[in-house]
């Protein structure tokens, strides 16, 4: 067994007095796809935001690709550059064109020559099928197109890990499919992915493991088939019965 690319040990996190994450232990191996599900407010998003330190944890260890995340971490930017993230609200930069959204970080963070960055960006945009929109601005695109652009933007940094924070929750039903298709093809390409989502169809199709969270704890963690076929805890059963 290879070393896990993400390793979380006994991690606790508080917002003020409120404990959002309780004693989280998680190991993710390279090229594995993990789906995290659970009711809202269960700490799913906070968990994956901790993985690239958009949120700081107070106790325990998080080790991403051999680097421990803590206050002492000097090159947090370097680690973030290797961990792509896609947000629920897309968070494209509205003042930049789609192409510039994708090339900004490669040029300024990775110091890539502009031409190379543009070729890379167009390549990535083509994979999510919006290369024809490259010169438009985010405000001119539909939600689904914006989210696909956000995926392409994250991929332009050529990350080792991709985090998805409810990527389809802010989309109209008919746009969900186009985004999920992009994610499925990404998964088939062998990317390490952690996806917070309610799309159980997606989980069944690509996930290696499914994690169920509630009240800041990991209630259940199992292989995909196992998880859907015979969930162990009652809480998971209830959740699945409601969502499926």
Partner 1 sequence: MQTINFLKPNRDNIKNYSIIGSFLVLVSLIDVISNAFLKINLTSFLPGSLTTLFPLIIGLIGLNMMRIDYSGHKTLDLLNKNINTNNFNALLTLLILFSIIKALPQSLSWMILDATISGDSKDACTGTGACWTYIKVWFRRFMYGMYPNEFHWRINTAFILVIALGFVGYFMKENLKKYLALYYVIIYPVIAYLVIYYLISGGSFGLQWVETGAWGGLSLTFIVSFFCLIFCFPLGMIFALGRRSNLPAIKYISICYIEFWRGVPLITVLFMSSVMFPMFLPEDFFMDKLVRVIIAITLFEAAYCAEVIRGGLQSLPRGQYDAAKSLGMGYWKMHIFVILPQALKLVIPGIANTFLALVKDTPLIFVVGLAELAGMLALAKTNPKWLGFAMEGYIFASIVFWIICYAMSKYSYNLEAKYKTER
Residues engaged in binding partner 1 (CB under 8 A)? 49, 52, 54, 77-78, 80-85, 87, 89-95, 104-105, 108-110, 137-140, 150, 153-154, 157, 163
| CA–CA distances in Å: residue 208 to residues 32, 33, 96, 159 | 6, 5, 36, 20
In the bound complex, what is the minimum distance in angstroms from residue 225's beta carbon to partner 1?
32
Nearer to partner 1, 23 or 169 (CB): 169
Nearer to partner 1, 90 or 212 (CB): 90
**Integer Cα distance of 114 and 187 in angstroms:** 28
**Integer Cα distance of 37 and 100 in angstroms:** 33
In the bound complex, what is the minimum distance in angstroms from residue 92's beta carbon to partner 1?
7
**Integer Cα distance of 66 and 26 in angstroms:** 15
Helix (H) or strand (E) holding 211: strand 209-214
Nearer to partner 1, 81 or 186 (CB): 81
In the bound complex, what is the minimum distance in angstroms from residue 119's beta carbon to partner 1?
18
Q: What is the CA radius of gyration of the chain?
A: 18
Nearer to partner 1, 14 or 137 (CB): 137
Nearer to partner 1, 25 or 140 (CB): 140
* Bridge partner residues of 85 (DSSP): 163
In the bound complex, what is the minimum distance in angstroms from residue 222's beta carbon to partner 1?
29
**Integer Cα distance of 122 and 92 in angstroms:** 16
In the bound complex, what is the minimum distance in angstroms from residue 154's beta carbon to partner 1?
7
| CA–CA distances in Å: residue 132 to residues 31, 117, 177 | 30, 17, 19
């Amino acid at each position: 067994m290879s070393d896990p690319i993400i390793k979380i040990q006994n991690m606790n996190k508080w917002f003020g007095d409120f404990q959002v994450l309780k004693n989280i232990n998680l190991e993710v191996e390279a090229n594995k796809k993990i789906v995290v599900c659970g009711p809202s407010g269960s700490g799913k998003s906070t968990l994956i935001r901790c993985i690239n330190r958009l949120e700081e944890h107070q106790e325990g260890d998080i080790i991403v690709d051999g680097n421990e995340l803590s206050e002492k971490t000097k090159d947090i930017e370097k680690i973030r550059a290797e961990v792509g993230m896609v947000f629920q609200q897309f968070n494209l930069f509205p003042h930049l064109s789609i192409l510039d959204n994708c090339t900004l970080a490669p040029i300024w963070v990775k110091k890539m020559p502009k031409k190379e960055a543009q070729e890379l960006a167009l390549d990535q945009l083509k994979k999510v099928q919006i290369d024809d929109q490259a010169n438009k601005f985010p405000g001119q695109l539909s939600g689904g197109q914006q989210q696909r652009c956000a995926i392409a933007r994250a991929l332009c940094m050529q990350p080792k890990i991709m985090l998805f924070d409810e990527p389809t929750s802010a989309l109209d039903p008919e746009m969900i499919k186009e985004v999920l298709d992009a994610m499925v093809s990404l998964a088939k390409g062998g990317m390490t992915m952690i996806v917070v989502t309610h799309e159980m169809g997606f989980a069944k199709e690509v996930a290696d493991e499914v994690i169920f969270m509630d009240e800041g704890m990991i209630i259940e963690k199992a292989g995909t088939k196992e998880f859907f076929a015979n969930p162990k805890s009652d809480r998971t059963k209830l959740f699945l019965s409601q969502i499926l």
